[in-house]
Structure 1
Amino acid sequence: MRRDIEHVRKNISERKKKKVQGSYELPKKSFVPPQDEEMHGYPPLLSNSDYEKKRPLPEFRKETSRLGVQLFFSVLLFAAVALGKQTDIAFLNGPEEWITSQLQEDFPFATVTAWYSERFGEPLQVVAPKPSSTEENIAMPVNGTVTTSFQNDGKGIVLTTENNSEIKAVREGTVIFAGNDEDTQKTVIVQHEDGSKSIYGYLSSIDVHLYEHVQAQRNVGSVKSEEGKSAEFFFAIEKDKKYLDPVEVIKVDESS
């Protein structure tokens, strides 16, 4: 009987010990044997798993996120324009009008060219340019007589001049058109730094090319006529999408 009691007590004591050891068991640490490099004094080699954990996020993910935002707003703008064409809601007409105005607006070539020249000098400049006259001293592109006034159509004037006369730019600027126009045949349009444009029409020849930067009094073309007749030349000035009377801007001979 005594042996049975001692045996039971012993079993209870062993169970308590196992329970206490199980509750306070420390976490096991996996033992990684040293690599050959470490044993010889060199740093250990990283495994692929270690490299994946320590590798930073690539930069292109940020660029992709930014591109996604831009794409989202582009699609949103396109959807607003498409919806505005199908409905009469005034709020949806705003994006369409803005896009239309941006597509029709001329790029300010002359302004950008002047800004670049002030800071970096003339592009590909080999010889220093000759000093030009001030903007206030504006001369007519050709000596002639006004035969059709600005009040005739509200766009420009027509002058008669001598045969084979050279047409000169009234101000410094950038050529934004050089070709045939439906109304004024061979035509050159020069954009100036302040956004205004000078238009030279009825030319017989064009001596400049598109996007060429021209100085004041630079030849842009010439006019010819039949023998014994005076040559005609069209001239106009446009600013802020409105035509100005060249006679009021430049002093000319308006006698017929």
Structure 2
Amino acid sequence: METRDKMSHRQMEQLRESAERWNDPEYVWKRKWMQEYSEQAKEDPEDGGGWPFRPNANSIRIKLVISCALFAAVWGLFQINHPWANIAKSHIEASLNESFDFHMVTLWYERQWGGNPSLLPAWMPGKQQEAQKVTALKKQYFTPVKGMVIAPYESSRLGVTLETKVDATVAALDTGLVIYKGNKDETGFTVVIRHANGLESVYGWIEAKVELNDWIKGGETIGKVSANTSKQAGYLYFAISKDNRYLNPMDVVAFD
């Protein structure tokens, strides 16, 4: 009985970890990408297995020959005592002895994705705590559309309504996965994008040009605003939530 309880607890932990991974839009997109190639492999098993990076004997031989040629070239270079050879040797030695700047990679990753690559803290002692302090709201986001806020954020509204130019294009707040596309009673045709760090953005009254499960880059056009009946202005409903709690969009981006 005790063993059964332990197994049940272990299975629950595995299910919880699996659920957390499926909240990561990048993980979902990669799984979808792999599934598409797996289905292609079933349809045409003779076409390389449907996997674009599947190794084969011929490609391995070519890479081995190239590697041996490069090794022989470098070895031969170090046997030559000539001014031009000495310059090349100094560059090679400097490249091999120079420490890789993981800190700069981490800063670049933070600017691009609003978080830290999970494998870098293990190589950077003392940086683990600093990495944990980074939150999604500390990065810069793309303004979905330029316009005037005519209905501000309220607890009952959960977002803002913007008046814009007719046919104004709508941009994605940040890189993420389209998890919803359809009609809603309160916001008309609506698109929801899931970003990293538990962030989601909602675009209502939009004429969308994206599809469900599309992987969208930050700032990429996802559609245009809906025009009013007189065709003199456009309208967009926009909301942001983090960890299922709605935020005031005006605290995150500027619309004018």
Q: TM-score, normalised by structure 1?
A: 0.49
